[in-house]
Chain A
């Protein structure tokens, strides 16, 4: 009888303390992790059964890893699948907290020519949507500004860290919106002539900016050659220097068929490196894009056709059609809070013509190549950064569970405000 009482007392103490235990914040853990006996989808070097050792934030070893397991956390991955972290090549994650509350949005600064506005400055490392996104297997995003012709410089970031310095992948890219001859919406009732005139005027402005940028680059190079210190305050032009000098590609948002064709010739005329973003009608001119060897970031895939006469699946099939024509394709959600749907966007692209292998590349190695970080990201290879997923299956399949996420070798808790609300309210008390 007495023991029973003690049992109840202990149970009571445990129950009273349970909410406290449950509310304890889970933190990411650093260390060495040996993922044993999983199906490794390397992306670039085939798929096979094996082990991966994550150590010092990188993929330290792959294959049949034989190592002393002291101080190593061994994780049995039998029956599990191992993928590289997925990369969203165009998002507003971290730049937009609540879309309808303008003071929480930091992706659109005033001014039409402001390439020096840096997304990396404004990305909120503690945005509520970041954990929501990474528990779905998206470990890296290109967060970009938008809203004008040169809205700023986007940044490729990993979705873990407490400062821009901890998150950046070292790839920042200037974004440009190519003059559009499409309608801005159903309410846009400009005449066809006016639309054309507006686009011509916008292109003329861009060309003037470009002429200045070329002149600026010449002065800059001359000053550099003479080892002179050039006292200046022209951050806009400075931001364009790496593009004008051919070091970095310009990321150009362009969507309709006519505009894509115009953009291809503009890029050729100015002898630029370029990446196209959006490219909604890429399927109409896929051969031309392939011939120009311009890589493409397309999406969202889950989108309506942009013309009423288009086939219902025009947006679903676009990525596959471009990929088949030989274009290097990466995929974006172009979203903020639902960047977590990247794997499903890729899944639809896979279903509608792209195939699973190409769609996987579009959210891993192709993205890494487009952002010039393929030496560190985009596949499971020795020495690359340890952005790794352990899953119950295909990460695009809706019912698959992501069971482990590693970002830069940190074991990330699979927790977000959305999972916490689930835990609290599934069986609400009282």
Chain B
């Protein structure tokens, strides 16, 4: 009963977006403007309004004492699949018309667990089954909201998932015996889809300019792809091998598209000069490798090599497990490549913000930006750091001292505990090939095990 009351309180009390908070006397890691000792951060109506020493608290402000604590910008994950009911529309190599924003699940407890790791924004992505997958949604971790629309980050640009290599090849070439069955085929899927969309856009232009009398047939797939070609949708492309990364940059150049963020991009380090020259960015794992053949020739020094070559780089999770300690994943670049504190922190704050096109609203502690803040005991790049409190738009969404253990929002009244799962949820649910594998799921244990290892890291 207490739990239900708490949830009601949570749902009602946090609905108000735009809080007034004064965070007192912390070590402020602004990321973009240096580290400020014993400094206050004032949040007014959910936005950072002042950063200074000894700010006087006004009456309608909550105060958080951050003495001895580190105050950093809310962490941003440029690649995740939490808060989604479904991830892959694996029915065609091109599905630009679908949007994971239609499948947001605000009740997913993974959102809370991400907050407990200081993560305030994530990029909820379509999976990697298709060369051109569905559109993605940049979400704010307003855990407690039950209306899916309240997760959407207003003002964030539209994004779409592309995918190269083994996943589209396995799904369509091996699975359905259609193109693409090779990396040659993947290239032609893009060229064909872009060309069709160009023709489609020209037909509409002709109609609007009175050059044709009847309107062309409306087609949401072509419509979306022509928006990509116009630069209105940011491409986030699942990729691993150096050759396929170069391929997509060539195709994009041919069609006049200049913005792309390569996701995973385990062999990005091999083509770092080309990525930098194109102006492409890279969102990588800190150290995942060898879970499939196309990531066998990886190195944990990837982020450092890309950074040193001038590529805007972020570290992402692609997992409801990793998303809880991205601060630790970023710190690994100090072991693997000696990045400075600010460089390492940028990998999980301002850089992913740039990749999602939200750098004017989030990713650093600067006046005018959203009041998304993570407060740590211990420096966030230390393995001994413990997140204490996480604020989204100035509202406290995680508080280590006050939150109850059970933070579920969807409770089955017939069970006291929820089920015990033998496997880590992230190993089976949240990979990029989610739903594709589920179609093939069998109940037998042997098959399950085989599956676990083909699916474990199906990113």
Shortest Cβ gap from A348 to chain B (Å): 7
What residue in chain B is nearest A303 (Cβ atoms)?
B424
Main secondary structure of the interface of A (DSSP, over half): loop
Q: Report chain B residues within 8 Å CB of A304.
A: 110, 113, 320-321, 324, 424-426
Main secondary structure of the interface of B (DSSP, over half): loop
Which residues of B406-459 have CB atoms within 8 Å of chain A's CB atoms?
Answer: 406-408, 411, 417-426, 428-429, 438, 441, 443, 445-446, 448-450, 453-454, 456-458
Which residues of A96-146 have CB atoms within 8 Å of chain B's CB atoms?
Answer: 96-102, 105, 108, 128-129, 146
| B47 interface hit (Cβ, 8 Å) | no
| A338 interface hit (Cβ, 8 Å) | yes
Complex Cα spacing A308 to B411, Å = 9
Assess whether B454 is in contact with A184, with CB atoms less than 8 Å apart: no
Tally A residues with Cβ within 8 Å of B: 65
Partner of B428, one of A102, A147, A185, A398: A185
Partner of B441, one of A187, A303, A344, A396: A187
Shortest Cβ gap from A252 to chain B (Å): 14
Q: Report chain B residues within 8 Å CB of A398.
A: 328, 331-332, 334-335, 381-383
What residue in chain A is nearest B270 (Cβ atoms)?
A425
Assess whether A421 is in contact with B450, with CB atoms less than 8 Å apart: no
Complex Cα spacing A337 to B113, Å = 26
Shortest Cβ gap from B246 to chain A (Å): 13
Assess whether B332 is in contact with A309, with CB atoms less than 8 Å apart: no
| B405 interface hit (Cβ, 8 Å) | yes
Assess whether B290 is in contact with A337, with CB atoms less than 8 Å apart: yes
Interface readout for B157-178 with A: 1 if CB under 8 Å, 0 if not?
Answer: 0000000000000000000000
Assess whether A99 is in contact with B453, with CB atoms less than 8 Å apart: yes
Interface readout for A388-430 with B: 1 if CB under 8 Å, 0 if not?
Answer: 0000000011111100000000000000011101100110100
| B207 interface hit (Cβ, 8 Å) | no
Assess whether A428 is in contact with B272, with CB atoms less than 8 Å apart: yes
Given A398-B381, A399-B331, A418-B300, does the pair A308, B408 have CB atoms closer than 8 Å?
A: yes
Partner of B287, one of A102, A341, A400, A401: A341
Complex Cα spacing A108 to B446, Å = 10
| B6 interface hit (Cβ, 8 Å) | no
Shortest Cβ gap from B382 to chain A (Å): 6
Assess whether B305 is in contact with A425, with CB atoms less than 8 Å apart: yes
Which residues of A316-349 have CB atoms within 8 Å of chain B's CB atoms?
Answer: 336-338, 340-341, 344, 347-348
Shortest Cβ gap from A237 to chain B (Å): 23
Assess whether B408 is in contact with A184, with CB atoms less than 8 Å apart: no
Q: Show 9 residue pairs from A and B whose CB-CB distance is below 8 angstroms, ordered by the A residue.
A: A99-B456, A108-B449, A182-B420, A302-B325, A344-B383, A351-B385, A401-B335, A426-B304, A426-B308
The 10 closest A-B pairs by CB, nearest first: A347-B383, A337-B290, A422-B301, A100-B292, A311-B405, A398-B331, A399-B334, A182-B420, A418-B299, A308-B418
